[in-house]
Amino acid sequence: MRIRTKFVAILLAFSLLSPIPIKAEDVKIGSISASSACLIEAESERILYSKNAQKRLPMASTTKIMTAILGLESGISLDRVIKVPKEAVGVEGSSIYLREGEEITFEALLYGLLLSSANDASVAIAITVSDTVENFVSLMNKKAQELGLTNTHFSNPHGLYDKEHYTTAQDLSRLMSYCVKNDLFVSISGCYKRIVQAGEDLTRVMINHNRLLNSYDGIIAGKTGFTNASGRCLVTCAERDGLRLIAVTLNAPNDWSDHASLFDFGFANYKRVNFDEISLKIPVISGKTSNFCAKTNDFSLFLPKNTEEICVEINAPRFVFAPIEVGEEVGEVIYSIDGKIIAKVPLLACETVEKAKYRFNIFTWIIDFIKGIFK
């Protein structure tokens, strides 16, 4: 059985579809000041815009994105009290001015890392997770390999310049895509202000360096960075109507403007479309029941806003022989645009059908066969 049908995009009752499609060529990205830039859709990691996106450059404090996710994945409780090691005191650059022996929660260190961009907090986290900074750096590079960041290498957990400490805009976008799947990472890096009480004599007020949190609609996470060697670096994630985009700029004099331009382009031209499940009944031969239900799972696709027709083709057998196991793949649904396949979704059995137990009777079989012909 092959059923082929077309749906006009505006008739697909999905809230993400635009009633007046905008053609991509009608919207232009403004001048991007960055030496290197990349814009991707977070879920698919599809590149929407790139400028020298595979060029290796220093990354400054955007390094702390990796430091943070390793801290969050370490299994260390957020309310665990950490005694600040001497190695974390007086680290060059941005700081929350940790004191040796001071007791502070692991959560407070993470906020200091992502909001205040504190280098001392990054060292404290590294030692807490891996006992030494060197061990933690090895963990950073191992994670980079696991994520396929082939043009990235870490030498420290904070981002101070080192010739062997580099990344690319494309690698950083992929790292951020991974990190925003972690709700705690999004919650912390998207927080504007955090007040932490450190004992009776010290209150730390941490303000997020990411100015876009209060100036661009939809920003949910990000990390800033700057050194004289790297220039201004910025990684941000914005979400509107279920569509998440990630922008990265390295060595960008006008990074706030760059990111606004990149997101304006992405949200004007792309959408995420949700597709409900498709279900149908398929006849069964030699089963305890005469048919069974098969269905797809609901899912979503990332598409250009000017998409007008989505072709849906259901490929399923005329019948199947029992037994059938629940979850068994029995066919597929193919989604295409202008003849180009954009997704294949399996049809799965919703129920188990056991094989019927009966004695074979040639006369009954012939009668059933003839009945089947006339049906």
Task: To the nearest 10°, report the CA torsion of 169, 172, 177, 182.
Answer: -160
d(CA 182, CA 72): 9
Q: Taking residues 283-291, what's their average pLDDT? A: 89
Reply yes or no on domain 2-13+276-365 having CATH 2.160.10.10.
no
Q: What are phi and psi of 187, to 5 degrees?
A: -60, -45
User: Could you write out the three-class secondary structure of the chain?
Assistant: CEEEEEEEHHHCCCCCCCCCCCCHHHCCCCCCCCCEEEEEECCCCCEEEEECCCCCECCHHHHHHHHHHHHHCCCCCCCCEEECCHHHCCCCCCCCCCCCCCEEEHHHHHHHHHCCCCHHHHHHHHHHHHCCHHHHHHHHHHHHHHCCCCCCECCCCCCCCCCCCEECHHHHHHHHHHHCCCHHHHHHHCCCEEEEEECCCEEEEEECCCHHHHCCCCEEEEEEEEECCCEEEEEEEEEECCEEEEEEEECCCCHHHHHHHHHHHHHHHEEEEEECCCEEEEEEECECCCEEEEECCCEEEEEECCCCEEEEEEECCCCEECCECCCCEEEEEEEEECCEEEEEEEEEECCCECECCCCCCHHHHHHHHHHHHHC
* 7 pLDDT above the threshold of 60: no
* 270 pLDDT above the threshold of 50: yes
| Residue whose structure tokens are 């914005």 | 238
d(CA 195, CA 108): 9
Q: What is the pLDDT of residue 219?
A: 98
Domain ranges of the chain: 2-13+276-365, 31-272
- Looking from the CA of 152 toward its CB, the CA atoms found within 13 Å total 30
Q: What is the pLDDT of residue 361?
A: 58
Cβ contacts of 287 within 8 Å, gap of 6 or more: 321, 322, 323, 324, 353, 354, 355, 356
* 158 pLDDT above the threshold of 60: yes
Q: Do domains 2-13+276-365 and 31-272 have the same CATH topology?
A: no
- Lowest-confidence region among 125-139, 272-286, 318-332, 346-360: 346-360
d(CA 329, CA 149): 34
* Distance set, CA 194 to CA 73, 153, 313 (Å): 22, 31, 52
Please report which confidence band the pLDDT of residue 365 belongs to, taking 50, 70 and 90 as the band edges. low
CB 49 within 8 A of CB 34: no
d(CA 335, CA 338): 10
Residues serving a catalytic function are: 61, 64, 117
Q: Give 59-96 pLDDT, tens digit per residue.
A: 999 999 999 999 999 999 999 999 999 999 999 999 99
What mean pLDDT value characterizes the chain?
Answer: 88
Q: Give 108-119 pLDDT, tens digit per residue.
A: 999 999 999 999
Q: What is the pLDDT of residue 2?
A: 31
Q: Taking residues 307-311, what's their average pLDDT? A: 85
CATH class of 31-272: alpha beta
Q: What is the pLDDT of residue 366?
A: 66
